[in-house]
Structure 1
Amino acid sequence: MTAPSVAKPAARLAVPAPSFAHLSRLSDGTGLFEHARHATVRRQHGYCTDDVARGLVVTSREPDPPAEVLRLAECYLSFLTHAQDSSGAFHNRLAHDRRWTDKPGVGDWWGRALWGLGTAAVRSPARWIRDEALTAFTLGAARRSLAPRAMTFAGLGAAELLRVHPDNTVAAALLSDAATAVGAPGDGPNWPWPQPRLSYANAALAEVVIAAGHLSAEGPLLDAGLRMLTWLRDIQLSDGRLSVIPAGGWHRHAPRTRYDQQPIEVAALADACATAAAATGDPAWDTGVRQAVAWFLGDNDAGTPMWDPETGGGYDGLTPHGPNLNQGAESTLALLSTLQHARRWS
């Protein structure tokens, strides 16, 4: 099995505990607002299933959650079950007046909803949340998407379920189909990636292939995912620190730009490296997680923290001029998700 290449270790920085203060600030009784100006909620932009699903993943991962975090998980679960239609598809956008502005579909938001539901179905300490999440997951998992990333996110939810319920045939079929949707990596060492372009949440594609190979005991599939992740991690290193693929993506035949780097890329890499460490037992993968944590704490191309210690919010992107100081839901959840992994070494 492929292991990551040796790289300069990330700087040793004091790692804060995850704070849910800003996530609570962004949430109300309906769901999770998508945008903020600095730390102030921008209610006019409403809610989206994408972010609410991410919120359910992060709140469900929290061990022994305090009452406020459990309340957030309950709110996010209620939002997702309201967003789901009878066929298993999901609405994505809800305006502040509580009216859906789109039709149900199976885009990325469907995949992320299943990721959140699969995580809650096995990780929530509340039995009723686990039961309701499993019901909604099972309905949604009967659907399929033509979009590889939508299938990837759904597959991550299936993997969560299978780690606890390995005989769940619905989840097993979905995870297998997700790995197939990602595709096989190329043979060449210069671009061992299934697609000709890297865009967003890239490491999640490698992660779902790793999970599928590990949970089905398919060695070649596991090796393929590890090879993808090794290459992706290595090309995103600069002097031992992360320099992730920017929002504009990178095509294999085009010059690569440095900015704007998005927190979602860092969080996806942390998740994938943690999954690789669990699948292989190789602690070398923890280096990738440490580098992801360090990126948020200031060990990045701009040498600047990517979060606000006063609010607990994550900044929306790393630009040539420093951080975008807006603290939206996606960035804050990426910060929280990455900091949760650091508990393994504390």
Structure 2
Amino acid sequence: MHPPAVLQLKPDYMRRITDDTGIFQHTKFGVPDRAKGYTTDDNARALIAAVLMYKKNPEAAALDLIHTYLSFVHHAQTEEGNFRNFMDYSRSFLEEHGSEDCQGRTLWALGFALSYSSILPDNLLNTCRYLINQALPHIGGIRSPRALSYALVGLSYLLKTPGALTYSFPYPHTPGTEEEQAFLPEAFISELIESIAVRLNDQYNHTKGEGWNWYEDSLTYGNSMLPWALLKAYKISGNPVLRATAQESLDFLISRTFAPEGYYKPIGSHGWLLRGGTPALYDEQPIEACEMLLACREAASVLKDPAYLRKADLCYAWYTGNNSLQLSLIDPQTGACYDGIHSSGLNLNQGSESIISFLIAHLVTHHG
């Protein structure tokens, strides 16, 4: 396999579709569609991309984006600790509570940001801690296995990053003060991660069988988050059962999403793949390539198998032209990412989810 093409990264497009409120959800071709407003989902994922951009090039523009996206997430959180999702252009939220996926994705982003505590300002890190602390009581009540997986990935960063659980102080202080102890209970988080991992593993064992090694009776969106979450949980607990389930389910997903011709072929969003059926061919979404890339890179590290890195490289190559159309999804003029592959060709809109997904995939692959 030839190494994936490396594009000249152009981060300006993400800045262009971000205003002082947050990143817009959709575009008409490359122009923000103000009528569609904003989502916490997109601003949380944009936070991940902006942190990676800041790591690559610690300049003020990237730090400003981090502030904007984190401020959006803060505004989205209710007094009870849940996150609202959809906001219209007049900055009014359209719901009292967001979806379970929104809760999980936001925890993923906040935990990820805390894993870069060595480069981010203390005040941003403390905001992330505060938001997580407010949300923690609600995580155990989530029912969706996908949303639980997003949350588990985010929470895992807290236990793997030294100092992530306590306040950051930019001045000398006495360790063990009341303020320092007030944040993020480690025992509770450890138990929550274990509980989520057990629930995912139990659901997998309940559903799998007859060659169908999966957690549900369908493959839909965000599939790779489930084995990725169990890989994260295994790194914390060392439980070999979680490792085995993660590997078996990821291998099954790989068998359904890579074409014999040697390119990544995500399950189409118009019909998905039902147990015993055939996968929908279209639409192929950029976010699927990003999340599968992240899961495969984790698997390569945890399972000590470089074959997963080769799969991750194929996921990156999906953006640059090694796909079912043999067309690049990256706009050479702007650096934007097209919204996917459908039956008549490329979707020429260039929304936030697409550019965020590509930026994460690019920065993790070439600067991770």
What's the TM-score once normalised by structure 2's chain length?
A: 0.86
Distance 1:174 1:287 in 2: 33
Residue 133 (structure 1) aligns with? 128
Are 1:28 and 2:19 an aligned pair?
yes
Distance 1:341 1:45 in 2: 29
- Classify the secondary structure of the residue corresponding to 1:141: helix
Deviations 1:214-272 (A, max 9, x none): 22111110121111111111221112111111113110122322111111111110010
Q: Using the aligned pairs only, state the percent identity.
A: 30
**Residues 1:15 and 1:162: Cα distance change in structure 2 (over 3 Å):** same
Provide the aligned C-alpha RMSD in A: 1.9
Indicate the larger mover: 327-336 or 251-260: 251-260
Residue number in structure 1 paired with 2:179: none
CA drift of 1:156 comes to 1.3
Q: Residues of 1 paired with 2:349 and 2:199: CA distance?
A: 34
Contact kept? 2:86, 2:98, Cα under 8 Å: no
Counterpart residue identity of residue 53, structure 1: A
Aligned equivalent of 1:155: 152
Q: For 2:246 and 2:43, how far apart are their aligned partners in 1?
A: 28
2:211 to 159, 178, 190: 190
Structure 2 residues not aligned, in runs of 5+: 166-185
Q: Kindly indicate whether residue 38 of structure 2 is the aligned counterpart of residue 52 of structure 1.
A: no
Note the alpha carbon deviations across 1:38-84, whole angstroms, 9 max, x for none: 11111111110010010112222332432211111111111111110
**1:202 paired to 2:223:** yes
**8 Å Cα contact 1:316/1:331 also seen in 2:** yes
Answering whether residue 97 of structure 2 is matched by residue 114 of structure 1, we say no
Q: Which segment drifts farther, 125-134 or 298-307?
A: 125-134
Q: Aligned equivalents of 1:294 and 1:105: distance in 2?
A: 33
Contact 2:13 2:336 in 1 (8 A): yes
Give, in angstroms, the shift of residue 344 of structure 1. 5.6
Distance change >3 Å, CA 229–CA 81, structure 1 → 2: same
- TM-score normalised by the chain length of structure 1: 0.92
Tell me the residue number matched to 1:172: 190
Deviation of 1:178 (Å): 3.0
> Judging changes above 3 Å, is the alpha-carbon distance between structure 1 residues 18 and 79 closer, same or farther for their aligned structure 2 residues?
same
Shift of 1:105: 4.1
Aligned amino acid, residue 74 of structure 2: T
Could you tell me how far apart the structure 2 residues matched to 1:135 and 1:310 are? 40
Q: Which residue of 2 aligns with 1:263?
A: 286
8 Å contact kept, 2:4–2:314:
no
Q: Which residue of 2 aligns with 1:243?
A: 265
Aligned to 2:75: 82
Decide whether aligned partners of structure 1 residues 318 and 106 sit closer, same or farther in structure 2, where only a CA change above 3 A counts. closer
Note the residue ranges of structure 1 that are not aligned, 5 or more in a row. Answer: 1-8
Aligned 8 A contact 2:258 2:264 in 1:
yes
Aligned residues: 336
- Output one character per residue of 1:147-179: Cα deviation in whole Å (capped at 9) or x when no partner: 222211111111222221498334323322332
Residues of 2 paired with 1:92 and 1:55: CA distance? 14
Q: What is the one-letter code of the residue matched to 2:7?
A: P
TM-fit CA distance, 1:300: 0.3
Residues 277-296 of structure 1 aligned to structure 2 (within 5 Å) = 277-296=300-319
- 1:303 match: secondary structure: coil
Q: 1:308 to 1:130 in 2, by over 3 A?
A: same
Q: Tell me the alpha carbon deviations over residues 121-147 of structure 1, each in whole angstroms, 9 at most, x when there is no partner.
A: 221522221111011112212212122
- Residue 202 of structure 1: how far off its partner (Å): 0.5
Structure 2 residue identity aligned to 1:147? S
Task: Give the secondary-structure state (helix, strand or coil) at the position aligned to 1:195.
Answer: coil
Say whether the 8 Å CA contact 1:95–1:101 is kept in structure 2.
yes
Q: Secondary structure at the match of 1:202?
A: coil
Superposition deviation, residue 189 in structure 1: 6.4
Q: Check 1:301–1:105 CA distance in 2 against 1; reply closer, same or farther (3 A cut).
A: closer
Q: How many Å separate the matches in 2 of 1:173 and 1:311?
A: 45
Which amino acid in structure 2 is aligned with residue 129 of structure 1?
A: L
Residue 204 of structure 2 aligns to a residue whose secondary structure is: coil
C-alpha separation between the residues in 2 aligned to 1:40 and 1:187?
44
